[in-house]
Amino acid sequence: SGSSACRDPSGPPGSRHADDPEPSRSVLDLIGPVRKMREELERLRRRVARQDERIARQDEQLDLMRQALQRVRQDTTTEKDAAHHEAATWYTDVRRRIDELAGSAARTAFGERAAADRHEAHARLTSVLCRLAFAAQPSSPAEWRQAAAGVTGDPDALPDVGRAWQEVSALRFRIGRLGGVHRWDFEVPAGRPYDPDAYDLWHKSDPGLPMSHAVAPAYQVAGRTVHVRAWVHTARG
């Protein structure tokens, strides 16, 4: 009919033929930006990879530096430990010398008394002299003689302290130069059974009796095991 002849051959508004070139142009327009995005992503990937390589190299260098520093610290620690062990050996000699000095004074003052009395005085005097020797502040020979008089009641019990006192002074000076925090430990759990794994028994003490006091202190550097254990005396309660 006439109305059919007048219909728009393009169809309803908004519809397109299958051979319309516009969709193809839209896809082609996206190819360029997508390619650029891919190239940019590849550049970023390569940049990140290079940064990862630099970080890995830096980590390796830091590890090498840490290892070198650890070796230096170990060498230094080993040297200090060796020096403190040497000082510990020296200390055992010094405490023996103090003990011999105290024993001589005890024999002078208590020569006529029973052996048990002499041994008790000997132990007390060694302990008193060691507390003077290893106090925070240095002691004088006069203080040693006064201490001996206080224990024995004899002002002439300890006439000469020169050699032992000099050894103590030299040992204190040596340990002070080594650095580190050290301590002279007189603490002993009085009344408890003697523990041979924790303490050294004073040579005139009975291991079957409970501990009484430290005759000579333990020597220890902070952060380390005890270099020399305390010398303990035992006695009946």
> Which two tokens mark 226?
């005890």
Residue 56 CA to residue 207 CA, distance in Å, equals 63
Residue 185 CA to residue 131 CA, distance in Å, equals 10
For β-strands 218-221 and 182-185, DSSP reports them as antiparallel
pLDDT of residue 71: 60
What residue spans define the domains of the chain? 79-234
Closest to 203 in 3D by CA, of 128, 89, 95:
95
Sequence-separated contacts (24+) of 147-156 with Cβ below 8 Å: 148/102, 148/105, 151/105, 151/121, 151/124, 151/125, 152/105, 152/106, 152/108, 152/109, 152/110, 152/121, 152/125, 153/109, 154/105, 154/108, 154/109, 156/108
pLDDT tens digits, 184-195: 999 999 999 999
pLDDT tens digits, 207-219: 999 999 999 999 9
**Cβ count near 127 (within 10 Å):** 26
The answer, yes or no, to whether residue 9 has pLDDT greater than 50, is no
Which residues sit opposite 182 in a β-bridge?
A: 221
Which residues sit opposite 232 in a β-bridge?
A: 201, 214
Residue 178 CA to residue 138 CA, distance in Å, equals 17
pLDDT tens digits, 152-193: 999 998 888 888 999 999 999 998 888 777 899 999 999 999
pLDDT tens digits, 57-93: 787 777 667 766 666 555 555 777 788 889 999 999 9
